[in-house]
């Protein structure tokens, strides 16, 4: 290759590669490893970090402020569109309402509660040798438990609700009737003279009841619904607020402190730490002196000896229906709850009312469950109606010798009797075969059939019979009253009828006026001065949710059982314009027995009440109660 010629191609490439290798050798001709260049870390100044921290805090603060503003705005919109209900103001306006029977003990007008027995037990609390028992749904009873195997009831007071507390000094008890009747304080210092005072009626859902010293802290919650479909169980609340009431149980006259909003929440938190929770209302077993006290599923109080396991049961008859009296003895037809479930046995319960303020349960007698008639010292009893009609058979109870326990069967010709009424020693009865019987009871042990008259189709039902001045008024299920001339027992004839807008159930007569329990919440008053042509002269409409059940007449007063609306008393001095002059409301009253000077009513689940209506006392010696029913 000549000097000055350019070099190119592979040779030049190899030379360059060799030169590169040479440049990476040191003096010892050893190859050194290649090094990657790394940039040094960037150092941020303190001022930069502070600027970025301030920016983050500003952003965070702005977010907090935005959330607060949005929340406050939403709260303000809610307060404007859906303002909070002032529960405290509403309760203050209702607190002193004397017309509310749920705030009165006992609830009534001109009728005094004299005595009570029976009822279904729901709860028991033991304090030393006394047992405090809730009688469902309206009552507190106290039992002497010195001998737990032989409890003796020594006190009772009307107080609607469940027992939630008895103080250790046995001065007072607290009854909570939620949601209807609120909080009650019962003075139990003297079991023979109990008294109940209404303290508060919370209007909303009960959340908690706590006791701190003698202060009751009662908390409720109210949710206002924006959209609600209760049938489907769907609801969208717009707000929920708590209300707290602070009640001095030691001083019933002290004002109730009512708190809402934030003060209510703070009071609720404090009560959670300092107070004793008194809920739930479910019965809890109690123990005292080697015995345990419990309530079984039928509402029967059981006392068990923990050492030997012996159990004593105190069933208090509560499914009481018809009621009738003789002297100081009282009888009720009884259907115990457990018997209805198991063997459908029914009994007559006998009570000793020699002390009306403290009735005593005596015994049960195995008689039929429904009353067909009551006359002098005899009660005539039959089976209950079924789909196949009334089963045949009539039994007679001689109340003058009830302890004999003998079931006396009526003669065969009386076996079909359903309803019967008496005029002196004559009995007039309707039968399950739609017949009218006239019976001579001059010899009560050997009644004699005087007449038998068909009343029409054998499947037609009658609801009662009343006989006045030789005329029988038969209440026909098919909504009318049949009038029969029975003055001549050999020729009984129908002389008239009266159509009813509803089924007549019972009838009471005073002079020339008949008072008909129309069964449709109405009391219809008929002029029967012309028996063949009864004429409606007045109709007394009752504003009751159910119907009228039983009526009894004494002098110028008509006593009416109206179911859930209780016992009503009308002054019928002017029969065309009756006026209500008294009432007693406790549970579901369906049966009345007037035996001057007392009124006896039975309430399913709540036993027997002995009442007194003082305005009728002057009439007691002169008159006896009358009605068309048994």
pLDDT single digits (tens) 24-74: 444 444 445 555 555 555 555 667 766 667 777 778 877 888 887 887 777
Cβ contact 55:49 at 8 Å: no
Going by C-alpha positions, the residue among 246, 278, 275, 238 that lies closest to residue 263 is: 246
Task: Give the three-state DSSP class for 164.
Answer: strand
Per-residue pLDDT, 472: 96
Stated as kind and residue range, the H or E segment containing 56 is helix 46-81
Is the pTM here over 0.75, yes or no?
A: yes
CA angle 471, 477, 483 (to 5 degrees): 15
Per-residue pLDDT, 414: 95
Per-residue pLDDT, 451: 96
Looking at residue 394, the DSSP 8-state letter turns out to be E
Say if strands 448-454 and 462-468 run parallel, antiparallel, or are unpaired: unpaired
Q: Where in the chain are the domains?
A: 109-288, 317-409
Per-residue pLDDT, 32: 52
CA–CA distance, 483 with 370 (Å, rounded to integer): 26
CA–CA distance, 119 with 336 (Å, rounded to integer): 11
Per-residue pLDDT, 600: 94
Exposed/middle/buried for residue 475 (C-beta within 10 Å: 0-12, 13-18, 19+): buried
Q: What are the residue ranges in the chain where pLDDT is below 70?
A: 1-46, 49-52, 75-76, 78-79, 81-83, 95-106, 178-180, 225-238, 281-283, 315-318, 335-345, 403-407, 543-546, 621-630
Q: What is the pLDDT of residues 412-447, one digit of tens each?
A: 999 999 999 999 999 999 999 999 999 999 998 899
Tokens found for residue 135: 């009688």
Alpha carbons within 13 A on the beta-carbon side of 309? 0
Q: Euclidean distance between the first and final Cα of the chain, in Å?
A: 153
Per-residue pLDDT, 571: 94
């Amino acid at each position: 290759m000549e000097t000055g010629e350019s070099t190119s191609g592979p040779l030049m490439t190899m030379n360059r590669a060799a030169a590169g290798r040479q440049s990476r050798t040191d003096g010892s001709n050893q190859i050194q490893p290649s090094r990657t260049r790394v940039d040094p870390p960037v150092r941020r100044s303190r001022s930069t970090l502070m600027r970025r921290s301030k920016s983050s805090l500003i952003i965070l603060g702005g977010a907090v402020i935005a959330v607060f503003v949005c929340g406050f705005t939403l709260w303000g919109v809610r307060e404007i569109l859906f303002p909070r209900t002032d529960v405290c103001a509403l309760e203050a306006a209702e607190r002193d309402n004397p017309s509310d029977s749920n705030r009165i003990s006992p609830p009534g007008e001109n009728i005094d509660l004299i005595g009570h027995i029976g009822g279904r037990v729901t709860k028991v609390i033991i304090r030393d040798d006394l047992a405090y028992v809730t009688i469902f749904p309206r009552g507190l009873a106290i039992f002497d438990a010195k001998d737990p195997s032989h409890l003796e009831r020594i006190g009772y007071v009307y107080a609607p609700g469940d027992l939630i507390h008895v103080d250790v000094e046995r001065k007072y008890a607290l009854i909570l009737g939620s949601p209807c009747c609120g909080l009650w304080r019962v003075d139990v210092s003297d079991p023979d003279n109990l008294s109940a005072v209404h303290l508060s009626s919370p209007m909303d859902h009960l959340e908690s009841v706590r006791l701190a010293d003698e202060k009751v802290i009662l908390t409720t919650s109210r949710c206002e619904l924006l959209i609600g479909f209760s049938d489907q169980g769907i609801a969208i609340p717009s707000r929920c607020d708590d209300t707290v009431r602070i009640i001095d149980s030691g001083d019933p006259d002290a004002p109730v402190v009512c708190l809402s909003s934030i003060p209510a929440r703070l009071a609720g938190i404090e009560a959670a730490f300092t107070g004793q929770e008194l809920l739930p209302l479910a019965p809890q077993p109690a123990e005292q002196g080697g015995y345990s006290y419990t309530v079984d599923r039928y509402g029967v109080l059981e006392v068990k000896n923990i050492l030997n396991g012996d159990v004593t049961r105190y069933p208090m008859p509560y499914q009481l229906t018809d009621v009738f009296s003789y002297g100081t003895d009282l009888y009720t037809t009884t259907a115990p709850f457990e018997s209805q479930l198991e063997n459908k046995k029914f009994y007559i319960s006998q009570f000793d009312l020699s002390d009306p303020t403290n009735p005593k349960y005596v015994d049960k007698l195995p008689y039929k469950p429904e009353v067909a008639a009551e006359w002098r010292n005899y009660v005539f009893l039959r089976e209950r109606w079924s789909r196949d009609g009334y089963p045949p058979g009539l039994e007679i109870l001689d109340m003058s010798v009830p302890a004999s326990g003998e079931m006396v069967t009526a003669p065969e010709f009386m076996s079909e009797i359903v309803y019967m009424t008496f005029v002196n020693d004559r009995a007039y009865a309707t039968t399950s075969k739609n017949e009218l019987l006239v019976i001579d009871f001059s010899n009560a042990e050997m009644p004699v059939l005087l007449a038998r008259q068909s009343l029409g189709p054998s499947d037609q039902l009658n609801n009662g019979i009343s006989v006045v001045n030789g005329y029988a008024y038969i209440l026909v299920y098919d909504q009318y009253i049949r009038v029969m001339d029975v003055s001549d027992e050999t020729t009984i004839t129908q002389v008239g009828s009266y159509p009813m807008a509803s089924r007549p159930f019972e009838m009471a007569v005073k002079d020339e006026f008949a008072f008909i329990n129309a069964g449709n919440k109405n009391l219809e008053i008929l002029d029967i001065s012309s028996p063949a042509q009864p004429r409606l002269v007045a109709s007394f409409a009752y504003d009751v949710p159910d119907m009228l059940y039983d009526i009894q007449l004494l002098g110028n007063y008509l006593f009416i059982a109206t179911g859930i609306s209780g016992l009503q008393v009308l002054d019928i001095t002017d029969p065309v314009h009756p006026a209500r002059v008294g009432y007693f409301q406790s549970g579901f009253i369906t049966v009345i027995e007037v035996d001057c000077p007392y009124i006896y009513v039975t309430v399913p689940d709540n036993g027997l009440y002995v009442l007194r209506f003082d305005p009728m006392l002057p009439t007691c010696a002169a008159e006896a109660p009358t009605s068309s029913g048994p």
